[in-house]
A = this chain, B = another copy of it.
Amino acid sequence: MDNLQFLYVSGGCALLALGFAFFMFTQIMKKDPGDAKMQAISRQVQIGANAFLAAEYKWLAVFVVIVAATIAFAGEAADLGPQAAIAFIAGASASALAGYFGMFTSTRAAVRTTQAARTSLGDALKVAFGSGSVMGMTVVGLSLLGLVVFTYLYTDNLTNITEKSLNSVLGFSFGASSIALFARVGGGIYTKAADVGGDLVGKIEAGIPEDDPRNPAVIADNVGDNVGDVAGMGADLFESYAGSIVAAMTLGFFAYHGQEHMTSMVVMPLAVSALGILASIIGSFFVGAKNESQLQSALFRGMVVASIVAAAATWWLCNGALPLPAGVNGTHLFIAITSGLVAGVIIGKLTDYYTSSSFKPVKNIAFQSQTGPATNIIHGLATGMESVALPVVFICAAIWAAYEFGGIYGVAMSAVGMLSTLGITLAVDAYGPVADNAGGLAEMAHLPKEVRERTDALDSCGNTTAAIGKGFAIGSAALTALALFSAFCTKAGELSLRPEASEALKKLVVDGSMVLNINTPTVTIGLLIGGFLPFLFSAMTMRAVGNAANKMVEEVRRQFREIKGLMEGKAEPDTQRCVAIATDGAIKQMIVPGVMAVTVPLIVGKFMGIEALGGMLAGSLVSSVMLAIFMSNAGGAWDNAKKYIEAGAFGGKGGPVHKAAVVGDTVGDPFKDTSGPSLNILIKLMTVVGVIFLPWFV
């Protein structure tokens, strides 16, 4: 096949993914949605989730319009203009649409999972995993489709690949990034404000169990799982997926510019991702379990099958299917691409080690909780900090292998490789919140105990897979940001060759790429500024959760106080008021950090220069990766230490050790679900902004 045919195939695979997602959706909707009570509760969650997304997207629409106008009028000189603006709007819309559809499905799948759990675990798994697949396939389908279409349009069917055309395609990724940031931050604030606020009053003050229908915040909590863990996570990986592909396309163009078969290197990332979709679909047929002990292995089996198929397909692409430029060794390229895939799996496993109650770190946190909340916190923080080292070592190993065997292009392709099976990894990840919600529904609808036990089994397995998913998200964000960073430096090199390039810029470029010498004050200052941004950003998002949670606490307390008969179960709580408070809080609090992430690179780039900006992006990358791993893993470890105690260790649920562990879990909530994951997007978004607006800076 030639390159154009591969582009068509890629578009076909994207459509296939969307078709698969729609098919799964119809299958889910055919399932029994349970009795009237269950449906009523489910509808409350659906209404709440819709209300949040509507409020969020309204605000986002304003943001998208402003940025799109900026891009459109930034002018041709800056390699921007209407084409990039259109791609930007499309990227933002596609990401928003994927989030909406994924969430639409998950809020409907939860109640059907509960109903299925009345019969068997296997059926419940099918529904929950199906819902995750809808999210996963929609994300990869829309993302790849958008990239294929804009590549086709802007390069005149691959006949005219230029910097400007690729910069316009990059607009798609930038659009996705913008949505991702607000979806992650807003969703993360929402979910944790509801969770923390509800728990603080319900579990700790009033002493009622989790998901108790008397707690007015319980619906908001369930909504939060959907807007944060489904829509937010989906948007995060949507942008990693799009970002890594377009970064690799750009670097493929720069690295092999003027050589025969350069087009193959531009099409390669699209093709690898397209075959990854097929691999994911094949893998998802291998997911199925009859009892609890099979659950974990069922999900892993699906991922492993998909990875093997994807690796085989990549081998085929590198060794014959696509004509490579002279001097490019197919096997070497294959190694570079799969290094990301391998690193992703290892990082996932490491995340599992640090956050699962089967291993020493979490058990130790539980043990330390015996001396109270302070030692629980100290050891949780220490575990999180310690857990940074090994994943980073493996990221470094992947970078090394990818560079050794594929150069800078190889590094970008390793990110593409890591994300090629996103269709199934995201499915495995997004099934967790569905199971979680299903359990909440069982509790609220007073279903028999075995139903809750089955959903708990699904949920507990979901926690592990979520940890792996988070590891993937961080690892891929690091590699994607690095690939975009390389694109930033390479693009600066290309700009220096233009006739209008300044002497200052020309001086910075050696061998076609910008040199960012740490041993100059400008770069050092940039590094330090970049270093503190993730801290500032995390502080903002954590505080946002705290503020929103406080409002929730007050409201729940007020309802407990003022609604007569609520605690006795004779009156209904006003759940939609809690939903409104969470929505309002999340939207208000996401604006400042979100706008900061977009404007700071613009300010630094314009007023301090591209050397400072390059330093800043590198500093942010370093700082973000460390903080993100630290926060995600500390949060996961606290969560599971609490669950470990709830399962009977150190006096079990309700004892003083459990109380201490609940403190850690509460602190960990914004860590792992708001601030930590938001950092993934911060680095990618800032780097994309840097790349897109680079011509404007110089």
A residues apposed to B, CB below 8 Å:
196, 200, 204, 368, 371-375, 377-379, 381-386, 388-389, 392-393, 395-396, 399-400, 403, 411, 482, 485-486, 489, 513-519, 521, 523-525, 527-532, 535-536, 538-540, 542-543, 545-546, 549-550, 553, 614-615, 618-619, 622-623, 625-626, 630, 662-663, 666-667, 670
Determine if A373 and B539 form an interchain contact, defined as CB atoms under 8 angstroms apart: no
Q: Tell me how far the C-beta of A135 lies from the nearest C-beta in chain B, rounded to whole angstroms.
A: 29
Determine if A531 and B377 form an interchain contact, defined as CB atoms under 8 angstroms apart: no
Please judge, given known A-B contacts A515-B515, A517-B516, A525-B400, whether A382 and B543 are in contact too, CB under 8 Å.
yes
Contacts of A523 in B (CB 8 A): 518
Q: Tell me how far the C-beta of A392 lies from the nearest C-beta in chain B, rounded to whole angstroms.
A: 5
Contacts of A389 in B (CB 8 A): 532, 535-536
Determine if A411 and B521 form an interchain contact, defined as CB atoms under 8 angstroms apart: yes
- Which of B204, B513, B545 interacts with A372 by CB under 8 Å? B204
Determine if A381 and B200 form an interchain contact, defined as CB atoms under 8 angstroms apart: no
Contacts of A662 in B (CB 8 A): 374
Closest chain B residue, CB of each to CB of A410: B521
Determine if A377 and B542 form an interchain contact, defined as CB atoms under 8 angstroms apart: no
Taken together as a complex, chains A and B put the C-alpha atoms of A489 and B532 apart, in Å, by: 24
Contacts of A411 in B (CB 8 A): 521
Determine if A542 and B385 form an interchain contact, defined as CB atoms under 8 angstroms apart: yes
10 contacts between A and B (CB under 8 A): A200-B375, A204-B372, A368-B546, A377-B667, A379-B543, A382-B543, A382-B546, A399-B524, A489-B519, A528-B622
Determine if B528 and A395 form an interchain contact, defined as CB atoms under 8 angstroms apart: yes
Q: With A392-B532, A393-B532, A395-B528 given, name 5 new contacts (CB 8 A).
A: A377-B663, A382-B543, A513-B519, A622-B623, A623-B626
Q: Tell me how far the C-beta of A382 lies from the nearest C-beta in chain B, rounded to whole angstroms.
A: 4
Closest chain B residue, CB of each to CB of A196: B374
Determine if B519 and A622 form an interchain contact, defined as CB atoms under 8 angstroms apart: no
Contacts of A546 in B (CB 8 A): 368, 375, 378-379, 382
Closest chain B residue, CB of each to CB of A383: B539
Taken together as a complex, chains A and B put the C-alpha atoms of A403 and B525 apart, in Å, by: 11
Determine if A528 and B663 form an interchain contact, defined as CB atoms under 8 angstroms apart: no
- Which of B393, B538, B618, B663 interacts with A385 by CB under 8 Å? B538
Taken together as a complex, chains A and B put the C-alpha atoms of A400 and B523 apart, in Å, by: 11
- Please give the count of copies of this chain that the complex contains: 2
Taken together as a complex, chains A and B put the C-alpha atoms of A622 and B378 apart, in Å, by: 23
Determine if A626 and B532 form an interchain contact, defined as CB atoms under 8 angstroms apart: yes
Closest chain B residue, CB of each to CB of A536: B389
Taken together as a complex, chains A and B put the C-alpha atoms of A643 and B614 apart, in Å, by: 43
Instruction: Name the prevailing secondary structure of the A interface residues.
Output: helix
Taken together as a complex, chains A and B put the C-alpha atoms of A383 and B542 apart, in Å, by: 10
Taken together as a complex, chains A and B put the C-alpha atoms of A630 and B662 apart, in Å, by: 24
- Which of B386, B518, B538 interacts with A516 by CB under 8 Å? B518
Q: Tell me how far the C-beta of A393 lies from the nearest C-beta in chain B, rounded to whole angstroms.
A: 8
- Which of B403, B615, B670 interacts with A521 by CB under 8 Å? B403
Determine if A618 and B527 form an interchain contact, defined as CB atoms under 8 angstroms apart: yes
> Counting chain B CB atoms within 10 Å of each CB, which of A486, A524, A550 scores highest?
A524
Please judge, given known A-B contacts A375-B549, A379-B546, A663-B374, whether A531 and B399 are in contact too, CB under 8 Å.
no
Determine if A663 and B372 form an interchain contact, defined as CB atoms under 8 angstroms apart: yes
Taken together as a complex, chains A and B put the C-alpha atoms of A529 and B519 apart, in Å, by: 18
Contacts of A378 in B (CB 8 A): 542, 545-546, 666-667, 670
Contacts of A615 in B (CB 8 A): 518
Contacts of A666 in B (CB 8 A): 374-375, 378
Contacts of A381 in B (CB 8 A): 539, 542, 667
Please judge, given known A-B contacts A396-B529, A550-B375, A619-B622, whether A382 and B539 are in contact too, CB under 8 Å.
yes
Determine if B392 and A486 form an interchain contact, defined as CB atoms under 8 angstroms apart: no
Contacts of A486 in B (CB 8 A): 519
Contacts of A524 in B (CB 8 A): 399, 482, 618
Q: Tell me how far the C-beta of A152 lies from the nearest C-beta in chain B, rounded to whole angstroms.
A: 31
Closest chain B residue, CB of each to CB of A396: B525
Q: Tell me how far the C-beta of A587 lies from the nearest C-beta in chain B, rounded to whole angstroms.
A: 20
Determine if B625 and A531 form an interchain contact, defined as CB atoms under 8 angstroms apart: yes
Taken together as a complex, chains A and B put the C-alpha atoms of A667 and B62 apart, in Å, by: 43
Taken together as a complex, chains A and B put the C-alpha atoms of A627 and B377 apart, in Å, by: 17
> Counting chain B CB atoms within 10 Å of each CB, which of A373, A383, A519 scores highest?
A519
> Counting chain B CB atoms within 10 Å of each CB, which of A204, A379, A382, A550 scores highest?
A382
Determine if B204 and A528 form an interchain contact, defined as CB atoms under 8 angstroms apart: no
Determine if A514 and B521 form an interchain contact, defined as CB atoms under 8 angstroms apart: no
Contacts of A519 in B (CB 8 A): 485-486, 489, 513-516, 614
Taken together as a complex, chains A and B put the C-alpha atoms of A593 and B83 apart, in Å, by: 54
Contacts of A529 in B (CB 8 A): 392-393, 396
> Counting chain B CB atoms within 10 Å of each CB, which of A386, A403, A615 scores highest?
A386
> Counting chain B CB atoms within 10 Å of each CB, which of A374, A382, A514, A618 scores highest?
A374
- Which of B515, B619, B630 interacts with A517 by CB under 8 Å? B515
Contacts of A536 in B (CB 8 A): 385-386, 388-389
Taken together as a complex, chains A and B put the C-alpha atoms of A395 and B527 apart, in Å, by: 12
- Which of B385, B531, B553, B670 interacts with A622 by CB under 8 Å? B531
Q: Tell me how far the C-beta of A619 lies from the nearest C-beta in chain B, rounded to whole angstroms.
A: 5
Contacts of A196 in B (CB 8 A): 374
Determine if A623 and B623 form an interchain contact, defined as CB atoms under 8 angstroms apart: yes
Can you list the 5 inter-chain pairs with the closest CB atoms, starting with the nearest?
A374-B666, A385-B539, A386-B539, A531-B622, A403-B521
Q: Tell me how far the C-beta of A540 lies from the nearest C-beta in chain B, rounded to whole angstroms.
A: 8
Taken together as a complex, chains A and B put the C-alpha atoms of A531 and B391 apart, in Å, by: 12
Taken together as a complex, chains A and B put the C-alpha atoms of A271 and B196 apart, in Å, by: 58
Taken together as a complex, chains A and B put the C-alpha atoms of A536 and B384 apart, in Å, by: 9
Contacts of A384 in B (CB 8 A): 539
Contacts of A623 in B (CB 8 A): 531, 622-623, 626
Taken together as a complex, chains A and B put the C-alpha atoms of A549 and B377 apart, in Å, by: 14
> Counting chain B CB atoms within 10 Å of each CB, which of A486, A518, A619 scores highest?
A518
Contacts of A200 in B (CB 8 A): 371-372, 374-375
